[in-house]
Amino acid sequence: MKVYSFDWDDNDPIFEFHLLGLTSNLNKDYDFAFYLNKNCKFGFRRVKDQKIIDQGISYNFSVYKFYHLKTKQEIQLISNYSYPQIIKTDNISLFNEVENVKTLIPEYKTFNYFLKSDFLLDEEFYVNLSGFKTIQEYQDIDIKTIKINNLENLILSK
């Protein structure tokens, strides 16, 4: 399989988005999407997983999208951790298979999820977030602090 690489510029318009990191005690992505739908009046729907290939191993990250018809704005909920991949080892032992999980954005591995949007979320949203018991931490992320090759992982297909 051919692998293509792009030379991105830090100021490329494709990187003009806002990113909010979220840490939650809801570890199942569909539970967290349902929770946000219920409590924040979103309508997240599951879409095609983000696939990242690293050292010949394919990792899948769940992605949910919500498109607001009136404002024509889209928000994406992206898991920061891949589904576990079973990798066979060459070791002759009791455990010749290991479960491997990849982090989408290693610079922010403390966050389970990211909300990616092309616009700033309103202040009311942040006030509501601080009151949710299932969200331990949230932070606006300056995307300039993310390595460019990791930032590419947030470019999702339409």
| Non-local CB neighbours of 111 within 8 Å, separated by 6+ positions | 21, 22, 23, 80, 105, 137, 139
Distance of CA 25 to the CA centre of its chain: 16
pTM: 0.82
The pLDDT value recorded for residue 4 is: 45
pLDDT confidence band for 151 (50 / 70 / 90): confident
Residue 52 has pLDDT above 70, yes or no: yes
Q: What is the DSSP letter of 71?
A: T
The pLDDT value recorded for residue 95 is: 67
Backbone phi, psi, residue 104, to 5°: -65, -45
17-51: per-residue pLDDT in tens? 889 999 999 989 999 999 999 998 889 999 999 99
| Non-local CB neighbours of 87 within 8 Å, separated by 6+ positions | 57, 97, 98, 99, 100
The pLDDT value recorded for residue 68 is: 80
102-149: per-residue pLDDT in tens? 999 999 999 999 999 887 777 888 888 888 889 999 999 988 888 877
Q: Give, for 6, the enclosing helix (H) or strand (E).
A: none
Q: Which two tokens stand for residue 105?
A: 């954005």
Q: Give, for 85, the enclosing helix (H) or strand (E).
A: strand 85-88
